[in-house]
Amino acid sequence: MSFFYFSDYYFQGVAMTAIKNGSLFCRMMLWVNERFPVANTPLFFILWFLSYSVAMPAGESISPVKMAVGCLLSLSFFLLLRVLDEHKDYADDCLHHPQRVLQQGIISLSHLKLLGALCVLIQLGGMFLIAGGQQQIWLSWTLLLCWTSLMTKEFFVAEWLKQHFSLYALSHTLVMPFVIWWLATLASPAAALNQPLILLMLLAFLCGLSFEITRKCKGPDEEREEVTTWSQLYGRPLSILMVIALLILMACVQYFLILCKTGTVSLWFYGVSGGVNFFAVSQLLIFLINANQKNRKRNEAVVGAAMLTGYVLCIVEIYL
């Protein structure tokens, strides 16, 4: 072993020891930055805003306290979902992603269990504050947790689902309609499963699926034989075509959601939606020409932007 190699190895070991001996808060924040970036939190708040916008009867207002609690509950559920995913995928991640904070032992699964328990307590406390004894809210939350638990257990057919990658993705993305139903009942306990709410559930499902395919459609520089991706199964052209089709469907659902809720759609909706989706499709086609990690990350950014823009357009149109 050369002196320089030994020195590099030694200082890496010292740095890792210092990190592991740091405060639990600092170590947890390393995990948060890696696996649950703060930059993603606006999506969870926007989902709550849109859910109550669709669920609340016309002319009825919502208190600032309920607004803030709803944001916190939405954030806490998606954080809980990430914690459960870390437990579910721990063995595979140790094999395929040993560089991650959890896999390096900087934090442990026990720490994440405590974080997950805190999320559940936040949800329980928030629902008591908002709802008290409103049965529909507790029922929607129970259904959401039941589906989430089945996802965590891979529906008790883990090996079969691994062999049916598309069904795996669909079954896990189906959590989104349950999330929307729960958020809608938080906003209005008397929320009916009407056409606008069903369209919002469909929109959330399509958005989740489009991002899932985008995230796992990779170039030759990232493909690994042992890690299944959409591009492996269906090829990059067909995978990108699926994402484009989903973007078009998302725009159509947004249109009909606004139309059902308000009775009209503003002209500027077409311009903003068309512009954002044109930009997204252009980037996806660039990825097909030059498929690499850099362009794959850009794909995620533009598809994510299309999702967020679509949600915001619906909120703005409802309140215009």
Q: Mean pLDDT for the chain?
A: 90
Q: What pLDDT is attached to residue 12?
A: 42
Q: What pLDDT is attached to residue 4?
A: 38
**Averaged pLDDT for residues 110-129:** 96
Residue 82 has φ and ψ, to the nearest 5°, of -65, -40
Condensed to tens digits (0 to 9), the pLDDT of residues 147-156 reads 999 999 999 9
What's the token pair of residue 129? Answer: 């504050």
From the number of C-beta atoms within 10 Å of its C-beta (0-12, 13-18, 19+), residue 23 rates as: exposed
The structure tokens 């990779």 sit at 218
The structure tokens 């805003």 sit at 49
pLDDT at 77 over 80: yes
Chain-centroid distance, C-alpha 158: 21
Distance in Å from the first CA to the final CA of the chain: 69
- Contact status, residue 231 vs residue 218, Cβ threshold 8 Å: yes
Condensed to tens digits (0 to 9), the pLDDT of residues 196-255 reads 999 999 999 999 999 999 999 999 999 988 889 999 999 999 999 999 999 999 999 999
Q: What pLDDT is attached to residue 288?
A: 96
Q: What is the pTM of this model?
A: 0.91
Contacts of 155 (CB under 8 A, 6+ apart): 161, 171
Our CA dihedral for 202, 204, 209, 212, rounded to 10 degrees, sits at: 180
